[in-house]
Amino acid sequence: MAVKKSTKPTTDNLKRCSWCGTDPLYTKYHDEEWGKTVHDDDVLFEFLVLESAQAGLSWITILRRRENYRKAFANFNVTKVAAMTAHDVERLMQDEGIIRNRLKITTTISNAQLFIAIQKEFGSFNKYLYSFMPDGKPINNQPGTIPVSTPISDAIAKDMKKRGFKFFGTTICYAYMQAVGMVNDHVVDCAFK
């Protein structure tokens, strides 16, 4: 008896954006998360932590440590992170699973406190972010070069800096916008556009 082959499509032969290469962790991130619109404040906080940690490093470096960051920063629970103390900072400075940069660690805590302040002011961090977006909607970019910043990322980063956020300049902000689907920069022939 012949075994019927599955006609279920595989992701092995799909066209992707070239930046993700062939690393399985990178392709999984590209296929399942990058450019997908997120409105959940918990996920928005997670990416704020990760993108801020990434400043000056490659994204794959942070992706490979993502689960360690999850453990180190209370499963990205913004309230718990905001309540971390100097003792927690010292403990995290010994954690080899994350980037052990004191300023980035203390910034994660202060950014959590500022994130909560924005939630109180706007009702959610998501509402705050989308107040900068045209018609309050994500942007589906058309083919061309992918920018490293835009007037929108400039405006968000400037406002967040004024509020006290650190490690969130316009380039990090634009990468954040891509990560949480505020902009979709998949190339036009990418299967995940």
**Taking the mean position of all CA atoms in its chain, how far away is CA 37?**
11
Separation of alpha carbons 69 and 97, rounded Å: 7
Rounded to 5 degrees, what angle do the CA atoms 139, 192, 47 make?
Answer: 60
Catalytic member of 26, 34, 46, 51: 51
Place of tokens 């490659």: 58
Residue 8 — φ and ψ, nearest 5°? Answer: -65, 130
59 a catalytic residue? yes
**Catalytic residue status for 51:** yes
Residue with tokens 């083919």: 143
Half-sphere exposure of 143 (CA within 13 A, CB side): 4
What do you get for the CA distance between the two ends of the chain, in Å? 40
Catalytic positions are: 29, 51, 59
